[in-house]
Structure 1
Amino acid sequence: MEQPRRIDARSLRGLAHPLRMTILEVLQLDGPATSTTLSSRLGESTGTISWHLRLLAEHGYIEEDVERGTKRERWWRAVPRQTILNQADFVDDPETKGSLQLYLRQLVQLYFDRVQNFVDEDWDGEWQHASEISDWRDLRLTKTQLRALNAELGEVINRHKAAADTRAADAQRADGQPADTETPADALPVVVQIQSFPRRPTG
């Protein structure tokens, strides 16, 4: 498995733009698209979308989907590789501080939009009951304990993701043999978001 990509200062500046982050979000969640379809969905001109697509490709976040593309229209897809951003990498880099703040603020906005879309959509009672929007505000943790909490949550999510990936791989077996496991017919894409951070007491 390919190692996660660690975002450096140059690639952060290439990504830290509201429209580029939104384009990448759409490609990651909904799959390959053309500048025309992205233009229609995001309400921007095809020229503007194409320019941002080229920048995302230049910085390695997306790539051309040559199997779908034609002479008249290019398809783009997100590069299937996990990215990691460590804020500590940029603490002593004042030139990157603005890009980091823009990136983080837009990331929070994208997270909010995902939840807002779920709330606004008409889901049946079972999906609403299975979903969760909760918070815990009374924890008192050290930095080490908070890192441990995040690591444990990540392990649980990765375990479920690995099982889902196995089911998806079995479903694509080309040897004609029955799959060892199958993805249930009612399975849908699910977003899990983790936000854990310290809060400065007031008063």
Structure 2
Amino acid sequence: MTEPRDPQVRQLDARSLRGLAHPLRMQLLDALRFGGPATASQLAEKLGESSGATSYHLRQLAAHGFVEDDPERGKGRERWWKAAHRGLSFDDSLLTDADPAVRGAADMYLHEVATTQTQDLSTWLGNRSSWPDEWNRAWDMSSYTLRLTPELTRELAQKMHALIETYRDRAADADDADTAQVRLHTHTFPLTPDGERPQ
């Protein structure tokens, strides 16, 4: 029996991946997911792009179902956009798809995600002095090196994800002054001795 999929998490397939795998589109989607609804002009200012570029790429994201109109705000001349899903799910089979364009899009998508995660951490390190002491005592940047089989590695990643999910709804009201959006990155991958590739 398979577990039901979370309707708030979009499962990427070959077609939707090709519609998303563009640096600006990924930035726009993240801006809407984590910053809330916005107009193309607001997003252009935030990302340092032209409103023409953000408008075009927002329409492309909408065509692939990643963003949608925000009816609560779209009453004036400007069109307001919001993210259509809370998260995305990437299927590793996209990396071995028969179509080289899909494989290229999958590789580009993963590298953009990795770049964004590195930027997130660097931004925190650069700005942490402006946060209250409580937050400076709560953050974490750790690494562990374990010797595991692929099966144990997969089990560990699944358990970490399950634990994180138990915290999703535990926070106080979003308007509570003590809360903030907290970003968690999990990276689990094999290392080889002295940078050698396995034969």
Residues 105-157 of structure 1 show CA distances to partners (whole Å, capped at 9, x for unaligned) of 11111111111111111223321111001111x31111110111011111111
Structure 1 unaligned spans of 5+ = 172-182
- Counterpart for residue 178 of structure 2: 186
- Counterpart for residue 135 of structure 1: 143
Tell me, in whole angstroms, the C-alpha distance in 2 between the residues paired with 1:23 and 1:114: 15
Tell me, in whole angstroms, the C-alpha distance in 1 between the residues paired with 2:86 and 2:9: 6
Q: Secondary structure at the match of 1:76?
A: strand
TM-score when scaled to structure 1?
A: 0.85
Tell me, in whole angstroms, the C-alpha distance in 2 between the residues paired with 1:107 and 1:132: 20
Greater CA deviation, 117-126 or 19-28?
117-126
- Counterpart for residue 189 of structure 2: 197
CA 46–3 in structure 1, closer or farther in 2 if over 3 Å, else same: closer
Q: Which of 108, 111, 117 pairs up with 2:114?
A: 108
- Counterpart for residue 30 of structure 2: 25
Deviation at 1:86, TM superposition (A): 1.2
Tell me, in whole angstroms, the C-alpha distance in 2 between the residues paired with 1:41 and 1:139: 40
TM-score when scaled to structure 2?
A: 0.87
- Counterpart for residue 74 of structure 1: 79
Residues 66-105 of structure 1 show CA distances to partners (whole Å, capped at 9, x for unaligned) of 2201341000000134321112244132231111111111
CA 129–3 in structure 1, closer or farther in 2 if over 3 Å, else same: closer
Deviation at 1:3, TM superposition (A): 6.4
Q: Secondary structure at the match of 1:162?
A: coil
Tell me if structure 1 keeps the 8 A contact 2:33–2:82. yes
